[in-house]
Structure 1
Amino acid sequence: MAVPKRKMSKARRDKRRANWKLEAPTLVSCPQCHEPKMPHHVCTECGYYDGKEVISAE
């Protein structure tokens, strides 16, 4: 069974745990309506993707 040979210091332990950070989602402007949208996703405002209407937005 794997057992640690030495106690891990608090600094070393906390360095490993320091890399949990959130990133803001990447947004691009829609070429049709210029609203912010996720890249490679259908625009929720106008329903266009790649210059074609995919869903009908009301």
Structure 2
Amino acid sequence: MVEARWFKSRHSATHSDGVEVAFLVRRRIGLRDSTNPSGPALVFATNEWDAFTAAARSGEFAS
């Protein structure tokens, strides 16, 4: 993960907090807290990422 190129969504790029995403080797996607870049990161397989982002878009994680 040291060589990963992390980026923020254009929707949150102007905010100091949020999440960052990186495209990793073997078609994996990393997700981390932008305020704690040396902290833990989640790693998703492509199909898991698709399910996660679909659920987020549908409001499944809204409280």
TM-score range, shorter chain: under 0.3
After TM superposition, the score normalised by the length of structure 1 is: 0.24
More helix by share: 2
